[in-house]
Amino acid sequence: MKTGRIIRSLSGYYDIQTAEGTIERTRARGEFRKSGQKPLVGDFVDFESENDEGLIWRIHDRENVLVRPPVANIDVAVIVTALKEPNFAPNLLDRQLVALAAANVTPMIYFSKADLLSDAEYSQATTVAKQYRAIGYQVILPQIDQADSAFAELQEALAGQVSVFMGQTGAGKSTLLNHLSPELGLETGAVSKALSRGKHTTRQVTLIQVADALIADTPGFSSYEVFDFPAETLADYFPEFVSHRQACRFRGCLHLNEPGCAVKAAVSLGAIAESRYNSYKAFYDLIKAQKPRYNTDNRNF
């Protein structure tokens, strides 16, 4: 029996990379389908292989899992966030940060298109970057005309990690991936063309070795479209709320209309950014308005 990480899935086959660096092609045992399990790219698995044909016998416990893209055991998700063209949208960034926290994935914020900013706009971007660093997020804000140092900082942060990239259309994900590796850039371009031809195109995730890192070759990421947790737990995913809420007058304070709320007091004092609190209120209302989602995978007929 061997152990390795799935780095590619395609048409029922799984390519597994072992600790020695070899790659072996396998299929999953039928028992997985019967039990509702499915191996994902990023999974650590036990498998047997002989004459280039193998079988996966066991999937190790996962640290985390994302639905779109379908990948497991992610060390870091890089949120590529445009500062201009399109303009910076704090609500979207906060939405992505919350979704990653709920999935137990560590985020990293990479602010792109800093070279398009005026001096005054860059000063404001610096203030925003400081706000998110103060919360505890890792933030990379390239200095104007010094993008190479930011790329080097990103490469160093990704060394030895498994990562995915996410961000809105036009944020510069493809450019960033292409700078990290031409192979990643080519993959991204091919995906973009395929998706423009047909909305039902299926995308397979592949982990590509880039120096000492494994990077998912798809920048597509839409797991933040719906929040799959109760509104009452939303504050758990705002780290700065967690550090203040112990002082709330009422246990179970939702930080909305309750008197004696330490979170709202912190917003008034500037200890919590008003934009973050506005995002919290918007997300709370969004979750409350969502229709219940039912798992239909195991329906009985």
**168 is known to lie in a ligand binding site:** yes
**171 is known to lie in a ligand binding site:** yes
**248 is known to lie in a ligand binding site:** yes
**19 is known to lie in a ligand binding site:** no
**Which candidate, 144, 283, 159, places its Cα nearest to that of 227?**
283
**Mean pLDDT score, 79-106:** 93
Per residue in 72-92, pLDDT tens?
Answer: 999 999 999 999 999 999 999
Lowest average pLDDT, out of 9-18, 33-42, 131-140, 182-191, goes to 182-191
**160 is known to lie in a ligand binding site:** no
Decide if pLDDT at 227 tops 80: yes
CATH class of the structural domain 231-289: mainly alpha
Neighbours of 154 (CB within 10 A): 20
**244 is known to lie in a ligand binding site:** no
Convert 22-39 to b/e letters by CB count within 10 Å (16 or more is b): eebebebbeebeeeeeeb
List the structure tokens of 207: 């982990």
Give me the residue spans of the domains in the chain: 2-61, 66-216, 231-289
Per residue in 148-200, pLDDT tens?
Answer: 889 889 999 999 999 998 888 788 888 888 888 876 655 544 444 544 443 43
Decide if pLDDT at 144 tops 50: yes
**167 is known to lie in a ligand binding site:** yes
Residue, of 42 and 193, whose pLDDT is higher: 42
**236 is known to lie in a ligand binding site:** no
**193 is known to lie in a ligand binding site:** no
**281 is known to lie in a ligand binding site:** no
CATH class of the structural domain 66-216: alpha beta
CATH number of 2-61: 2.40.50.140
